[in-house]
Structure 1
Amino acid sequence: MHEGSCLCGAVTFTVTGNLPQPNACHCTNCRKHSGHYEASVDVPRDRLQVSGMGHVKWYQSSEKVRRGFCDTCGSTLFWDPVFHDWTAIAMGAFDTPTQTTLKMHIFVSEKGDYYDIADGLPQNQT
């Protein structure tokens, strides 16, 4: 079991089972939403339990995606593709060790010009 929360603790969550490898997304939307690139892990919804859901606010960033954040502290928490059966969870929101590592970088064609990616992981342009 993996546990996490927002900065103020109004929203907490648990994920049962092992976490798959997360991706680091460098797209413009993720960078604007998180303040840098966003690392998140895709978890089947039936393995995710959220407490304090009344504090989760959703921003519909496209036709197919909404982004969840805490309405009290503003913490980035979720990336939710509304037509799928999984939700991505921001890696920085986990309170317990995740026992996983990044798999790859995606949308590197949109990355910021103020940093380099030099960890040797695969880099997808889109």
Structure 2
Amino acid sequence: MEDQTKITTGGCLCGAVRYEVRGPLRDVVNCHCSMCQRLHGNFGPHTKAPKANIRLTEDKGLAWYKTSDVARRGFCRECGSSLFWEPFDLDATGIIAGSLDTPDKLKTMGHIFVGEKAGFYEITDNLPQFSGSSNGAFKNDYK
């Protein structure tokens, strides 16, 4: 059984946004959609947790941008760090894995939106790939 009392912390580059997550995080899914390409310069490495388990400890820099009718993205308005992907109709928030203070315990578990992947790199692992969304097919893909 996973430790529900474990606290994982993270935040932006300048410290104007800090957060903590109670309980386990889902392993990382690399999103290759065109929006992630523009936000991250390549793919977006997302972990995920239930919204109720995420607590902001500093939010003076937090801003939200509605990127579609499906979700909004959270970022720091001070330093520009990308932090969250939050769907409107699910009880979970995607967290950019690089914003965690200690992301080394997570493993990559697969790839989504590979149908939109940029042509300047290849996916060379043997992990599951989905042309679009995985529609919750990954383990612990909180809905």
TM-score (norm 2): 0.84
Q: Which consecutive residues of structure 2, in runs of 5 or more, have no partner in the other structure?
A: 1-6, 133-143
Q: CA deviation at 1:98?
A: 4.7
Matched, 1:121 2:130: no
**Runs of 4+ in structure 1 over 3 Å off:** none
Out of 40, 51, 57, which is 1:45 matched to? 51
Task: Name the residue aligned to 2:60.
Answer: 54
Aligned runs of 1:59-70 on 2, under 5 Å? Answer: 59-70=65-76
Q: Which consecutive residues of structure 1, in runs of 5 or more, have no partner in the other structure?
A: none
Q: CA deviation at 1:52?
A: 2.4
Task: Name the residue aligned to 2:29.
Answer: 23
Contact persistence 2:10–2:19 (CA under 8 A): yes
Task: Name the residue aligned to 1:102.
Answer: 108
Total equivalences in the alignment:
126
Report sequence identity in percent.
40
Q: CA deviation at 1:91?
A: 0.2
Task: Name the residue aligned to 2:40.
Answer: 34
| Partner Cα distance (2:89, 2:125) in 1 | 32
Matched, 1:4 2:10: yes
Out of 92, 95, 104, which is 1:86 matched to? 92
| Partner Cα distance (1:49, 1:98) in 2 | 21
User: Secondary structure, in 3 states, of the residue corresponding to 1:50?
Assistant: strand
RMSD: 1.1
Q: Deviations over 1:62-117 (max 9, x none)?
A: 01210110000000000010122111100000012452211110011111111010
Contact persistence 2:97–2:103 (CA under 8 A): no
TM-score (norm 1): 0.94
